[in-house]
Structure 1
């Protein structure tokens, strides 16, 4: 009996904490930050509990448009209680997408309502979730004319993609709602793709090669199960992100700046490709610590500086760089499947603010580049204002800039569209004449 009660408490904690996490995101907070706070406050959570809370939180936000469309049909009037609404959204997600028994999900949701001091609403919770179970097909069918519900993206986002990608907008939206692939970057100083694939096979981890350095796992695993991870043989990095260091065209002895460097995946990749004098800059000192940790694992060193890339007077010593990687802050609209909260936190007006910040960073960093040097502009965005339009405006302002072709990468004018192999990135390589 004690074990049964303990198991029930675990299930209630999972649903309660997932609901609270979703509620915090809908109030404007970043999901990663929210979950870190949950882990700190609930230190006794088992790894399986953490995984379940994270999966439910991510899943609910991934399909939020659809779930809200369903919930609105099931309610007789708008539900003003945010905690209760989030509990119902989580319950609907579990009923539609999880493998748990339907009756257990409903019973737990009713008990969770009591646990979060919503005992008066336990009848509503029970009725809404059971009504969904009975009417699921008709409820989902009724959403077919509602784009925000059908694609689980804000309408302004859908409209923008329709205009920019008339042939690809539906595939982009579909990919955004998928689970992201887990892709590895092989440190070719220590191994090769073929050799590492054999190591994975020996550890019963199935994978396939995506290029000279990239390996995509068929199913994600924790990094402690990756052979050679602690020794720097391999790193986790999206295949699209792996183009950055290669396109930068670094050579031994160069002075290289990685602006906006955290968490350090591209920083480390640059150092894997050449013996350079590298400066890693980031405005966030805590995130810069992640760069330090990445470099330590890989046995690399770099000059780490906390500073604003747009204000070089505070950190630049006046010595010009041969190469600059400008992986600038952006809407992150190309990595939504990894961060489903982004599409609900972003607002249409945010894109203009990001574009203004990017312009300041580009203009500032251009002054730090030596004549004959190269700057690689990178975003993880699919929005034109941050990408093609940004680059066209930059070339208008700087007559000494020449845009170079991107070799070894298939893009739509520099734009990598998110697909099953990689996330969405934009690349523009500039030479200073």
Structure 2
């Protein structure tokens, strides 16, 4: 139970209303450390409750040490995408609903007048995307000197999106803080570790392994496709049979528009989510999809990270991602919080190399399935590596023939 953390009764009341019955593995590991005021470097798979793992301790800190007079934000949470920022702010407001704590959000795509109005208020917790917040810092509309806790959510994604430099500058502006926390889906590679060294001070490292109940139950398979048109036929068949809430990942904005038009021709209605959309349109699209007003969402990888949409039955990779870890984040949109989900990938010949990388990364073989009437006509090369020839065999083959002289 959450009472084990000695949280304020108003926080516990809100958690009960939110349906949080007991802490997840990342919450059990991270919350006690964060409550002690220590810096934290934490890793946990998507969908395992890491947002609450950093919100609970900072909300408790703010209640334990209330501000004496109005002022700037005391807690700053940076996220890589607008959608994730809004999602974190929504959960923060739910957790704080029976307290006097306030939470605001600043992202790109919003009118600057709205931002200025928020920054003039006394906000305890500010959730922001790095680029827009740094604009306000440069224009002296936001003061980092009152920040006591800095939290970086999805730090690996921030690095992928090129925000490393800006985040380091924001961190320097907030150098008087008492605590920093960095959360990432993975701590592999030098990027996140170097990032952490610049921002954290002797952090406690927490790598949470989700319990069996928390682990996603995602059934994965592939369909081989000869051509783009063949992929469209496969997708159309899948969407018309046994799907309830589907996210279809496509690699570019242009392909999203093209695919939506083709599905419309088959009388299949879909929404789309992509980069460079107006923020109000993004939010409207997500809200319609969450409410089930439309059951198919076409998306570029802008939606692959951190977006918590409950009850997504299927994730379909119409186009394969550029890296294996992005594949894992994509399919993590289904099977949330231990629920069951299905992930299907449509594979053309040029996708075989990526398929091989994904299988090595996930340590799982993705088996093909076939739809009668839509079987591929061309044979697909195997992803198995050919066995290396022994050195002795090479020597034998390369050795020149010697003609023996007759006596």
Q: TM-score, normalised by structure 1?
A: 0.25
Q: Which has the higher contact order (CA 8 A, sep 6+)?
A: 2
TM-score by length of 2: 0.26
The structure whose residues are more often helix, as a share, is 1
